[in-house]
Every structure is written in structure tokens, then in C-alpha cells.
């Protein structure tokens, strides 16, 4: 096998390369390392090596080579990001023009795409129905379809087996659909719906149909009931493009107004002594990459990188978080607290705007493309927080909830609302239940519907304390189980003056489920609403509200809030810690200074304020862009507040010069 040096390819035009058309050879890099590759790979490399043409001290390294395997968009991005990082390491921060480097990367992408379509035009192939037909009739795939049964397990197993064949079978290598799939250009879930089975689908209210759709898109969905079930996803897509999308987008806009309080990035180190302890899990680690942490091996603060995983997994590490930066009072964050993402921020860019757009844009994208994001349906078990576990516990099935038997020892009563509210009909239909109705197979959701229940905790010599727990989620509301309904009827009931049934739990068997949730899919609309409520603290519920309805203003410890917000976001989307920390900082005020709504000074204890308070008490630029500007102008209290933090939008309201 022949060997070539990488500079030969870099410095001579393609026509003068000594290697043959599609030759396999050894490629030697500037650092002396050698790799086996082929001509076509180096042709792609050469188009991406634009930064090397300008930054002549930048060596060509193995990481700048596209490598074997399908040429996906992600791989091209990975190579350019290695190049970008190497320029930074070799030239040193501040010694080169970052934005010019970004421009070169952008041009390199363009060069690759624009020139490749011309140069490789003879390789362009098409996909036709015969390719799909051959794939569908491929005997091993056919055999899997014959084994398919309408159960979750069978569908999952057959899906896995089909995918295994599609991804690895050498006989299918030349099929264009398979090669697109292997290159990551086709979504496997969607291909499985074509070749294998459509699977579970949801109704427009996110209720999961009892039976899956057993047809597939290749053979067609011929059963009328299945066709009707399949059509609801399209209906849902139309619904979601309307009001839910508007609401999500409006929430994004609101979030931007407050986040913009955090303004500029300061390149350097504020030298804050404050580090936060964060227990590392896999998901957290992924979104913490680049944060400055105290390396236990070296005792120094350095950026957290992928190769630190072995060092930090299952431990608690000390990190710098954006909201603890010493520059926060001025609306600034230093690049050390911000982490390596600082390298991606253009000069003069508003950090808050970037953070809110990047956390929210994916959420609205998902609402918009509900058809794709909810194509594969699953029931998510309800999440019960540590605080809630003092009262409720998960039942045997993922849709059941039982009570903690501690309740009996402490003489705690269960309170159920007896009157209907706008949200749910609660226990208003319970008086019509007869003993003879209560047989197996009864539809429990007909009799009761609860979003929230209350526990009455006796305290010495005083009024009992009441704790509210949210047990429903979005459109998914809990009903009483058959067992509990029997208990309820047997014990007899009266409605107390507070509009609740007070149920003593003395005779209850705590091993049985009390609540059941319908089979419902957690949908993106509900998710978007939950994120908004969390960040803006829009609900005015009692402070003693425990449950998934969490809000920033309930937290005393910002780190705990950050971890919970991260957990909430990562149920559906990626969320880098730094962006979340910036969004959170924008809602922080000083705890011991109740009338000051400016960003907190360095090192003082903080609390989270409600969104409306921040907007009403800050500079009025964003309030005018939001709503209620006229009211603010007419309110005397607005004229009493003089010390207000400047905002990005002030020049719009009050142009200077
Ligand atoms: Zn800092």
C-alpha cells in the first residue's frame, strides 16, 4: 500500500494528486500519525480544510479527517468543531479573530455542499418503489411480520429484530433506503412504520387507543377502525398548529423579555470563590460539558470535558454556575463561570436572549412537529417527588397510585373535592354511585376525576395543616380505583362545609391502589405549559403545594431549582446547564431586600421573583413590548421606583441622541 503525506493533498490542486481515483492508501498527518483511508475521503477533507488556508500555524491532524463510515451531517460538524477548537488551542484565546474563523467554517460547509453536487453528480442515485418493494418482501423481514402480535412486547421485539436486520445485514447494503438509514438520513421509527407496523396511536386528547394499529404504510391501512385511529394524528397536528403553538411562542417571547436582563459576556475570570456541588449522572454530565469544575485529580479549576467521565461519574463535583458569577449585578457573566460555551458567543451578544431562545426553540419545534415527535406512543409513568412520597407512592402498574401507610399511623385524612371546578368534575358524581354498580370492568373515569387531592394532617392544639398534591398531569386526570370506591361507599360519606369529603383511612388496605390514571401519552403541549409555569412561576397556588407543578419561586436553593428544571427539560429536549442558569439568573432578586428587583449583588442570598414582578419593577422597555404599558404609566407607584436596571429594550422606548 502506498503512503502519502497530507500536505501533498493540501498544497496541490485535485488534478495533480498522485493517488489514483479511489485508491486505498496510508495518509500521514502533520503530527506523524498515519491512518488508512481512500481518495474520496480526502477529497471531502480538502473542502473542509478552509481554516488551514488562513491560519498557517494550524497543523492538519487526524481529528481533521472525516474518517470511515457514512458521511452524515453530524460527522461533518464534528470535524469542523475539532478544527475550531484546535485553532483556539494553538493560537490562544484573544490572539485570533473568532468570528472570522466562524465565517471560514461557514464557507467550508458551503464549499462542500455546492461543489459536491456538481463534482459527484454521476453518483447521484434515486429511490424508487421497487427498492421499497424488495425490502418489504425480503424473506427475513417477512418472517418477522408473520410473528407480530398486537401486544406492546411483541411490537417492541419485532421492531428491534427488524432494525437489527436493516442496520447490519450485508445482503441489504446496496439498497438505497437501507444505505440512507445507515447514514442516519432516514428516521428508523418512521421506516419501521412503513415496513412493520404503525403501532399505538393517540386520540386528539392524548388518550392512547386500547388497540394498536396493526397495519403498516407499505401495505396500507385497510381496516376502517385502524384508518380512523390513524387519522387522529393528522387532526392533532392541525390542532397543535393553532392555539397550542401560539401559546408556546407567546411564552417564548415573554421569557425573552425577562432573560434579556442578563446582558454581556466578559472574557476572563471574576474569581468568585463560590462553587456548587452537583451529583453527576449521565444526563447531567452530557449537559454540563464545558462548565468550569474543580478537578479532584489536579486540584485546579478547569473545563469539564468528555474524557473526565470516568473520573467524575457517580461522584459529586464542585462547579462554577453562571448565576453565581461575581459580575451578575451588572448583568454580566464572565467566561469562566459561563464555561466553554463562551467560545460560541459573538461579541456584544445578549446572553439572556441566547439562553431563552436556545432553551425554548426546541420546545416549540416539538409542538409544531407533533406528528413526528408523537409518532411512537408510550405511557410515561407518573413521577412522584421525594416530598410527595410522604403521602403517595407508585402502585404495581405504571398507571396506579397508592398511599403511604405512614398516613394511618399519623391519623391523616384524605380530602376529596366534592364539587366540580372548571378543570375537572372531581367527586361531584360520587353520590350517584351504588354498591351494585361496583363490579370489575367498570369504567372508573366516569365517576371521579381529580387533578389534585388534599391531605389533612393533625397538629397539636391547632388547626390541621393541609397539603395539596397534584396527581394528574395535563389532560391526564386521576380517578378513584374500584377498591377505593368500594371502601368509600362502605364507609359512608358526607360533604363537609369546606366542600370536601373527609375520608378516614383507618380501615383502608394500604397495599391496594387508590388512584388510577388513564392510559395517556404525555404530550408536547402539556410539556411546554409545564416549562412555562416552572420558569415564570405563574401559578398562585398555596405554598404548601407539593407535586410535579413546581415553580421557581418555591425554591430557596438555586442549585436544587437548576437540577429540577434540568430534569423537567430533559424529559423531552436537551438543555445545557449554562443556558438554564442564565434564564434562572434573570428571575433572581436579593432575598433580604424585598423592594429591590434588580439582579442580585455578588454573594448575597437570593430568591426567585415572579415574572410579572420582574417586568413591573425593572426598566419599562420590556413591559411596553409585553403588555400593560399604559397602566404602568398611569400608576403612581411606578414613579416612586428610581433605581432600575437598564434593559436591552430601553433605547426602543426612549431613544438617546
Ligand atoms: Zn464569573
pLDDT digits (tens, 9 = 90+) for 474-493: 666 788 888 888 888 888 77
**CA-to-CA distance for 292 and 276, rounded, in angstroms?**
11
pLDDT score for 63: 94
Q: List pLDDT tens digits, range 420-449.
A: 887 778 888 888 888 787 877 777 777 888
Q: Contact 455/412 with Cβ under 8 angstroms? A: yes
Q: List pLDDT tens digits, range 447-466.
A: 888 888 888 888 887 778 88
CA distances 338 to 266, 298, 465, 602, Å, are 9, 21, 43, 15
327 CA distance to ligand 1 centroid (A)? 6
377 CA distance to ligand 1 centroid (A)? 43
**CA-to-CA distance for 272 and 325, rounded, in angstroms?**
6
**pLDDT confidence bin for 571, thresholds 50/70/90:** confident
pLDDT score for 373: 60
Asked if residue 503 has pLDDT above 80, the reply is yes
325 CA distance to ligand 1 centroid (A)? 4
- 632 vs 62 pLDDT, higher one: 62
> In the structure grid, which three cell numbers stand for residue 481, read together?
380505583
557 CA distance to ligand 1 centroid (A)? 19
335 CA distance to ligand 1 centroid (A)? 7
Closest residue by Cα to residue 142 from 125, 127, 162:
162
pLDDT score for 409: 84
Q: List pLDDT tens digits, range 20-49.
A: 988 999 999 999 999 999 999 999 999 999
Q: Contact 401/514 with Cβ under 8 angstroms? A: yes
323 CA distance to ligand 1 centroid (A)? 8
pLDDT score for 379: 59
DSSP H or E run through 407: helix 406-409
Q: List pLDDT tens digits, range 263-301.
A: 999 999 999 999 999 999 888 999 999 999 999 889 999
Asked if residue 51 has pLDDT above 60, the reply is yes
- 538 vs 91 pLDDT, higher one: 91
Asked if residue 546 has pLDDT above 60, the reply is no
Burial of 611 (0-12, 13-18, 19+ CB in 10 A): buried
333 CA distance to ligand 1 centroid (A)? 5
Asked if residue 508 has pLDDT above 70, the reply is yes
Asked if residue 617 has pLDDT above 80, the reply is yes
**pLDDT confidence bin for 544, thresholds 50/70/90:** very low
431 CA distance to ligand 1 centroid (A)? 61
- 88 vs 470 pLDDT, higher one: 88
Q: Contact 488/479 with Cβ under 8 angstroms? A: no
Q: List pLDDT tens digits, range 186-201.
A: 888 889 999 999 888 8
307 CA distance to ligand 1 centroid (A)? 24
Q: List pLDDT tens digits, range 349-361.
A: 999 999 999 888 8
Phi-psi region of 603 (alpha: psi -120 to 50; beta: other; left: phi over 0): left
Q: Mean pLDDT of all residues in the chain?
A: 87
Among the ranges given (79-83, 176-180, 441-445), the one the predictor scored with the smallest mean pLDDT? 441-445
156 CA distance to ligand 1 centroid (A)? 48
- 429 vs 607 pLDDT, higher one: 607
515 CA distance to ligand 1 centroid (A)? 48
Q: List pLDDT tens digits, range 138-175.
A: 999 999 999 999 888 888 899 999 999 999 999 998 99
CA-based end-to-end distance of the chain? 71
601 CA distance to ligand 1 centroid (A)? 12
648 CA distance to ligand 1 centroid (A)? 21
pLDDT score for 109: 93
- Read off the pLDDT of each residue in 377-382 and give the average, rounded to a whole number: 61
Asked if residue 545 has pLDDT above 50, the reply is no
Q: List pLDDT tens digits, range 586-601.
A: 999 999 988 889 999 9
pLDDT score for 385: 76
Do strands 500-503 and 606-608 pair parallel, antiparallel, or not at all (unpaired)?
Answer: unpaired
Task: Say what the pTM is.
Answer: 0.77
610 CA distance to ligand 1 centroid (A)? 25
In this structure, what DSSP letter does residue 380 have? P
268 CA distance to ligand 1 centroid (A)? 8
pLDDT score for 236: 82
Chain position carrying cell 441489504: 172
Chain position carrying cell 381529580: 450
Alpha-helical (H) ranges within 20-93 are 39-48, 51-54, 73-91
Three state DSSP letters for 296-346: CCCCCEEECCHHHHHHHCCCEEEECCHHHCCCHHHCEEEHHHHCHHHHHCC
332 CA distance to ligand 1 centroid (A)? 8
**CA-to-CA distance for 447 and 463, rounded, in angstroms?**
31
283 CA distance to ligand 1 centroid (A)? 24
DSSP H or E run through 420: none
357 CA distance to ligand 1 centroid (A)? 22
**CA-to-CA distance for 604 and 99, rounded, in angstroms?**
36
CA distances 371 to 208, 239, 526, Å, are 15, 11, 15
Q: Contact 218/209 with Cβ under 8 angstroms? A: no
Asked if residue 381 has pLDDT above 70, the reply is no
131 CA distance to ligand 1 centroid (A)? 57
Residues belonging to the chain: 657
Amino acid at each position: 500500500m502506498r503512503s502519502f503525506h497530507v500536505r501533498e493533498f493540501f498544497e496541490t490542486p485535485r488534478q495533480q494528486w498522485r493517488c489514483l481515483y479511489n485508491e486505498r492508501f496510508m495518509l500521514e498527518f502533520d503530527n506523524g500519525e498515519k491512518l488508512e483511508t481512500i481518495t474520496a475521503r480526502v477529497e471531502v477533507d480538502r473542502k473542509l480544510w478552509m481554516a488551514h488556508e488562513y491560519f498557517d500555524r494550524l497543523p492538519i491532524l487526524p481529528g481533521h479527517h472525516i474518517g470511515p463510515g457514512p458521511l452524515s451531517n453530524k460527522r461533518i460538524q464534528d470535524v469542523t468543531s475539532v478544527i475550531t477548537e484546535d485553532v483556539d488551542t494553538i493560537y490562544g484565546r484573544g490572539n485570533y479573530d473568532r468570528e472570522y474563523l466562524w465565517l471560514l467554517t461557514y464557507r467550508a460547509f458551503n464549499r462542500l455542499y455546492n461543489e459536491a453536487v456538481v463534482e459527484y453528480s454521476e453518483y447521484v442515485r434515486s429511490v424508487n418503489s421497487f427498492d421499497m418493494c424488495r425490502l418489504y418482501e425480503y424473506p427475513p423481514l417477512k418472517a418477522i411480520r408473520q410473528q407480530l402480535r398486537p401486544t406492546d412486547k411483541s411490537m417492541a421485539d419485532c421492531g428491534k429484530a427488524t432494525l437489527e436486520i436493516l442496520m447490519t445485514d450485508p445482503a441489504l447494503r446496496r439498497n438505497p433506503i437501507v444505505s440512507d438509514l445507515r447514514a442516519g438520513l432516514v428516521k428508523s421509527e418512521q421506516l419501521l412504520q412503513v415496513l412493520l407496523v404503525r403501532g399505538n396511536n393517540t386520540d386528539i386528547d392524548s388518550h392512547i387507543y386500547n388497540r394498536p394499529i396493526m397495519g403498516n404504510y407499505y401495505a396500507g391501512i385497510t381496516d376502517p377502525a385502524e384508518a380512523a385511529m390513524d387519522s387522529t394524528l393528522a387532526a392533532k397536528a392541525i390542532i397543535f398548529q393553532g392555539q397550542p403553538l401560539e401559546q408556546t411562542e407567546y411564552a417564548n417571547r415573554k421569557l425573552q423579555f425577562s432573560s434579556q436582563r442578563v446582558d454581556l459576556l466578559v472574557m476572563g475570570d471574576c474569581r468568585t470563590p463560590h462553587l456548587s456541588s452537583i451529583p453527576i449522572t449521565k444526563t447531567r454530565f452530557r449537559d454540563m460539558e464545558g462548565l468550569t469544575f474543580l478537578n479532584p485529580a489536579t486540584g485546579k479549576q478547569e473545563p469539564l470535558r468528555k474524557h473526565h467521565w470516568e473520573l467524575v461519574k457517580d461522584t459529586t463535583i464542585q462547579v462554577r454556575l453562571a448565576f453565581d458569577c461575581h459580575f451578575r449585578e451588572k448583568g454580566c457573566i464572565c467566561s469562566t463561570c459561563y464555561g466553554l460555551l463562551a467560545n460560541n458567543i459573538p461579541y456584544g451578544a445578549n446572553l439572556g436572549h441566547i439562553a431563552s431562545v436556545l432553551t425554548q426553540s426546541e420546545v416549540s419545534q416539538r409542538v409544531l412537529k407533533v406528528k413526528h415527535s408523537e409518532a411512537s406512543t408510550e405511557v410515561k409513568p407518573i413521577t412522584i417527588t421525594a416530598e410527595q412520597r410522604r403521602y403517595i407512592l407508585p402502585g404495581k402498574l405504571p398507571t396506579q397510585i397508592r398511599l403511604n401507610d405512614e398516613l394511618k399511623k399519623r391519623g391523616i385524612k384524605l380530602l376529596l373535592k366534592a364539587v366540580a371546578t372548571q378543570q375537572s368534575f372531581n367527586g361531584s358524581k360520587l353520590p350517584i354511585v351504588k354498591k351494585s354498580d361496583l363490579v370489575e370492568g367498570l369504567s372508573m373515569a366516569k365517576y371521579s376525576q381529580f387533578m389534585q387531592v388534599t391531605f389533612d394532617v393533625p397538629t397539636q392544639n391547632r388547626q390541621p395543616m393541609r397539603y395539596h398534591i397534584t396527581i394528574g398531569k395535563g389532560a391526564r386526570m386521576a380517578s378513584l380505583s374500584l377498591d377505593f370506591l368500594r371502601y368509600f361507599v362502605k364507609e359512608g360519606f358526607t360533604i363537609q362545609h369546606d366542600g370536601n369529603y373527609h375520608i378516614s383511612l383507618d380501615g383502608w388496605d394500604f397495599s391496594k391502589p387508590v388512584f388510577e390514571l388513564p392510559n395517556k401519552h404525555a404530550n408536547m403541549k402539556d410539556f411546554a405549559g409545564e416549562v412555562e409555569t416552572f420558569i415564570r412561576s405563574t401559578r398562585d397556588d398555596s405554598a404548601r403545594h407539593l407535586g410535579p407543578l413546581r415553580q421557581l419561586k418555591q425554591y430557596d436553593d438555586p442549585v436544587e431549582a437548576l437540577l429540577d428544571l434540568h430534569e423537567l427539560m430533559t424529559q423531552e429536549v436537551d438543555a445545557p446547564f449554562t443556558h438554564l442558569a442564565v434564564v434562572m439568573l434573570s428571575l433572581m432578586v436579593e432575598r433580604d431586600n424585598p423592594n429591590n428587583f434588580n439582579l442580585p449583588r455578588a454573594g448575597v442570598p437570593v430568591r426567585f421573583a415572579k415574572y410579572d414582578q420582574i417586568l413591573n419593577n425593572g426598566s419599562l422597555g420590556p413591559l411596553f413590548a409585553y403588555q400593560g404599558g399604559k397602566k404602568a404609566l398611569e400608576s403612581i407607584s411606578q414613579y416612586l421606583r428610581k433605581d432600575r436596571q437598564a434593559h436591552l429594550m430601553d433605547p426602543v422606548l426612549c431613544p438617546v441622541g
